[in-house]
Structure 1
């Protein structure tokens, strides 16, 4: 059972000050790592704490940090900003087998404010997943196969979109960040691997071999 995160103590003034300091630095900021309290807080809802030009600049900076990492998503708390804002984009080339098994297709760049998701149906999918705030580690996470995402876009318009496959995984991962949830909270911890072991042993389109060898997600017993 997941622990409910406490609301961030960040005031609107502190959020604005933090953003302005990061933008004024003129360099790509470091990505906050697990153990920092900002990753375990429920981020503040965006309600106009930033000027439009500041919000646009922050989104552009977050996209640059995401590309530099590289990753397919980045949430504002990962830069030390406790605000419900995330950017998402998946343009990585993967082989045809992996793409098919993982239902992975390109995701065009977009930014989300104040997101929440709900499952569409009961189907789940289990794959290895990593996080830029847990550098060097990956673990298997069960996620909803399809979700509906409700969010506000940077122009202030309420949106609703549906996602499935790997896109749904990215959406869930980034939205979780804004509620103080890291993927390890949902992970099969027996699957936890560092990147070198993952690359050497478990970097297959599915998790079958890792599941067998590491002893997680065992087969359900047959019932008569």
Structure 2
């Protein structure tokens, strides 16, 4: 009886030791230590590169930031668009209209005056104002991704004082409209060919298109 008791104690101690050594527990699912949530991302990225999607998106993002102003600024503690901001957004809308298969994201920012909670809300309102104005210029709201606000956490100028350059929104290329015919059919060659033809057009040709009509 004594030997059985000793055996049971030793077995229990061994199981406890094994459980302590394993960060995922003794009865974890096989392979759980290998999958940290990013399993398959490398394969997905390779597919995007091979299909031309990744390179095309990066090229578009670069062109957008080079050919039109991507940033608009705001008065202190305000989210209304002044005429300078509206003029910039009309340029953005003219450019965006040329690429109906592309989605965009707008980020709202503030300066460092005020609490973080208040500034996150203010940054959100600024980004919403930009999205609403782009929609008024004929850009489908479905192409403008869920608005993200960084509030005061990413200043351009590190100062605790009022700084207009920190009170801004930034518009960026974020991806493709998956339901668009060119994308769903995998016709990236057509997109790239269109880019090849457009490359012979002066930059003013892209940014000077009259802003009529809707891309919805």
Q: Which range, TM-score by smaller chain?
A: under 0.3
Q: Which has the higher helix share?
A: 2
- TM-score w.r.t. the length of structure 2 is 0.26
Q: Which has the higher strand share?
A: 1
- TM-score w.r.t. the length of structure 1 is 0.25
Q: Specify which structure has the bigger relative contact order, considering alpha-carbon pairs within 8 angstroms and separated by 6 or more residues.
A: 2
